[in-house]
Amino acid sequence: MRFASRRDFLKTLSAMAAVSASDLSSHLPFPMAAVDRIPPTEFCANREPLAKTSFYPLPLTSVRPKGWLLKQLEIQANGLSGHLDEFWPDVGPDSGWLGGNGESWERGPYFLDGLVPLAYLLQDERLIAKSRRWVNWTLENQQANGMIGPRKNDDWWPRMVMLKVLTQYQEATADPRVVPLMQRYFAYQLRELPNRPLRDWGKYRWQDEVASVVWLYNRTGNSDLLQLAQILHQQGYDWHAQFENFAFTGKMDAKELGVREGMPIPDRAMQTHGVNNAMALKSSALWWLVSKDQSYRPGVNRQLVALDTYHGIPNGMFSADEHLAGKNPSQGIELCAVVENMFSLEYAMGILGDPLLGDRLEKIAYNALPGTLTDDMWAHQYDQQPNQIQCSLRQRPWTTNGPESNLYGLEPNFGCCTANMHQGWPKFTSNLWMASAEGGVAAVAYAPCELNTKIRNVPVAIEERTTYPFEGAILLAINPNRPVHFPLSLRIPAWATEPSIRLNGKTVTVARAGSFAVIDREWKPADQIELHFPMGPTVSRAYHNSVVVERGPVIYSLDISTEWKKLRTRGMTADWEAHPKSAWNYALDINERTSGTANEVMGTNAERGVFTLQGAPVLIEVKGRKISQWQEENGCAGELPPSPVTSAQPQETLRLVPYGAAKLRITAFPELGGPSGNSG
């Protein structure tokens, strides 16, 4: 082989390394730093006997953020994610994952699970240097028996997170040390698990390790790994069975859950734990992939239906504060559950190719994720509420969480989210596009970005220009280096009523909502696809027949005028209370038939970040009236009056803003109805 330049040589080599790093590990001719900027571009398909999945994740950095999404990742890098290690001891220089005597459990790996993709997606030198220090420590301190991580504990669970970190890091850098380290660790675990089985968190989160085992199997073909996957499945909790016969249909309190301070968490509490359920959302799909047992394929959908039916809340999530808590929009959902749910949906989407998983992913990414972080991403909540009228240090009717849970701060209630929140936006970015099993690529979620990959050995760039999710027009500029034939799969959201697809100015294919449209042709440089998903205000129904205003994947909430009170300084950031300075107890004069007449107002200042009050590109005006019987209780909006309701209060024009921009908000409203409700 001849290479035009050293750069081309390195490119080719690192692309090869993605497929079989183990073959290259002992004789790489170049220093590692040189490989950093030259990511592999090819995905790794499932080896026999694994099932053939619909899509495959592309190596980290194949998809790069642009437009508002780039701005969002930059805000994140300038916020807690880019600075947490500078002042929060749990991921500071004394971390056990850096060889120190400090925190040695999940927090270091959690932090890296977001920092690594953030750093490489932004090609941010400062963050790359930070993340490499951690990764290097793990890579350079494997024990002789194969064990990785701090010696202070031998819990399997935090290592499951570190494996996810290492797989992403390897994809971005082709570092040849990763695959051999994982091989030795898994060999050790295969020997050890019969004597020291999964327990506690690891038992309930086994599927996330199986994902890393599958990743390695596809790169090495070592059949011991399939045996390890079987043991992890056997020792792990049977999530599939939980949702075949779902028993947790209501909110339970600490006593019913058996939770007692200072005691181990009982099984019932683990099974209703929000983050566990969010992580488990990938387990059935993953087990179909490994076992080819068809009965596992419907499991993801069954879990979503069960959680929606009994615990669904309007931001695309289910309530769990800390445990499943019913459909009342004053109940909370933890930030860790939000980001883990997103990752599960991304992972399950790759396996199943179900377009509805993409709809759900967008709903959570474009609402629940920004809605629980401050605009500058320097503070977050533990629990967010769809109807959130006050964030304050106060006992609320959560299932088990404490009085700090809905503060915006450094580590309200418990520090897990402080460490784990960073994966949300970066992994979402990375999964906007996937490789398809038919040899093409698939747009599974939409945001401004650029894809760079290779198809049939031809470099292909696809630039996606859009302000989606705030407008339904998406331009895909497709640029293969030379003409190349491949199928392009495009998710058509289920909410899109009259979707259209144009190729080089002409309508090409029938776009059916809730499906993938596939355009299979020879693509040439400068081809253009225009997607149009017309969006306008619509209404969906929630708790007590309440109305929720949506527009495309974004939901719109009443923004309650807010007084921010600094509770205390926390290193480089602070803990904040948010108190309401305007009325919130409105019912809306809107329903499924009238929603189309609501007024859309265009914003102008998206430079500030699209999920902010100043930067939101679209606002919606609706008519409403106060409902005097709906009042605050325990710092929450009291029981939502069942719709329809009547009110003799004067009609007002209310401005709704994207959920993510409204830190105090009402999202599920009573609907005005009846004679006095609709009269002037």
Q: b/e for 616-650, b at 16 or more Cβ within 10 A?
A: bbbbbebbbbbbeebeeeebbbeebbebbbbbeee
Q: Indicate the helix (H) or strand (E) that contains 503.
A: strand 500-503
Cβ proximity to Zn ion: between 284 and 374 the closer is 374
Rounded to a whole number of angstroms, the minimum distance from the CB of residue 279 to Zn ion is: 12
Cβ proximity to Zn ion: between 336 and 361 the closer is 336
Cβ proximity to Zn ion: between 416 and 560 the closer is 416
In the complex, which residue's CB is closest to Zn ion? 336
Write the burial class of residue 467 (CB in 10 Å: 0-12 exposed, 13-18 middle, 19+ buried).
Answer: middle
Rounded to a whole number of angstroms, the minimum distance from the CB of residue 413 to Zn ion is: 8
Q: Which residues, including other chains, have CB under 8 Å from residue 375's CB and lie 6 or more apart?
A: 75, 608, 609, 611, 612, 661
Q: Is 361 in the site for Zn ion (CB under 5 A)?
A: no
What is the full DSSP assignment across 228-239? HHHHHHHHS--H
Cβ proximity to Zn ion: between 172 and 416 the closer is 416
CA 141 centroid distance within chain: 31
What is the full DSSP assignment across 536-548? -EEEEEEGGGEEE
Task: Compose the 1-30 pattern: x for residues touching Zn ion by CB under 5 A, - for all others.
Answer: ------------------------------
Task: Assess contact for 290 and 333: CB atoms under 8 A.
Answer: no
Rounded to a whole number of angstroms, the minimum distance from the CB of residue 345 to Zn ion is: 18
Cβ proximity to Zn ion: between 334 and 404 the closer is 334
Task: Give the pair of three-digit tokens for residue 322.
Answer: 């800390």
Q: Which residues, including other chains, have CB under 8 Å from residue 352's CB and lie 6 or more apart?
A: 53, 54, 285, 297, 300
Cβ proximity to Zn ion: between 321 and 527 the closer is 321
Q: Is 416 in the site for Zn ion (CB under 5 A)?
A: yes
Task: Assess contact for 493 and 543: CB atoms under 8 A.
Answer: no
Integer Cα distance of 603 and 615 in angstroms: 7
Rounded to a whole number of angstroms, the minimum distance from the CB of residue 421 to Zn ion is: 8
Task: Compose the 55-94 pattern: x for residues touching Zn ion by CB under 5 A, - for all others.
Answer: ----------------------------------------
Q: Is 501 in the site for Zn ion (CB under 5 A)?
A: no
Cβ proximity to Zn ion: between 124 and 322 the closer is 322
Cβ proximity to Zn ion: between 274 and 448 the closer is 274
Select the residue interacting with Zn ion from 417, 555, 598, 619 (CB under 5 A).
417
Q: Which stretch binds Zn ion (CB under 5 A): 84-92, 242-250, 293-301, 412-420?
A: 412-420
Centre a 10 Å sphere on the Cβ of residue 297 and count the other Cβ atoms it contains: 18
Integer Cα distance of 205 and 393 in angstroms: 31
Q: Which stretch binds Zn ion (CB under 5 A): 308-316, 393-401, 411-419, 614-622?
A: 411-419
Rounded to a whole number of angstroms, the minimum distance from the CB of residue 389 to Zn ion is: 23
Q: Which stretch binds Zn ion (CB under 5 A): 39-47, 160-168, 226-234, 417-425?
A: 417-425
Rounded to a whole number of angstroms, the minimum distance from the CB of residue 275 to Zn ion is: 6
Applying the rule CB under 5 A, the residues between 318 and 357 that interact with Zn ion are 334, 336
Q: Which stretch binds Zn ion (CB under 5 A): 257-265, 286-294, 409-417, 625-633?
A: 409-417
Centre a 10 Å sphere on the Cβ of residue 199 and count the other Cβ atoms it contains: 13
Applying the rule CB under 5 A, the residues between 567 and 606 that interact with Zn ion are none
Cα–Cα distances (Å) from 245 to 144, 160, 248, 535, in that order, read: 44, 28, 9, 37
Cβ proximity to Zn ion: between 18 and 161 the closer is 161
Rounded to a whole number of angstroms, the minimum distance from the CB of residue 336 to Zn ion is: 3
Residue 611: phi and psi, rounded to 5, are: -100, 45
Rounded to a whole number of angstroms, the minimum distance from the CB of residue 598 to Zn ion is: 36
Give the chain's radius of gyration (CA, Å).
25
Integer Cα distance of 330 and 241 in angstroms: 30
Chain residues binding Zn ion by CB under 5 A are: 334, 336, 416-417
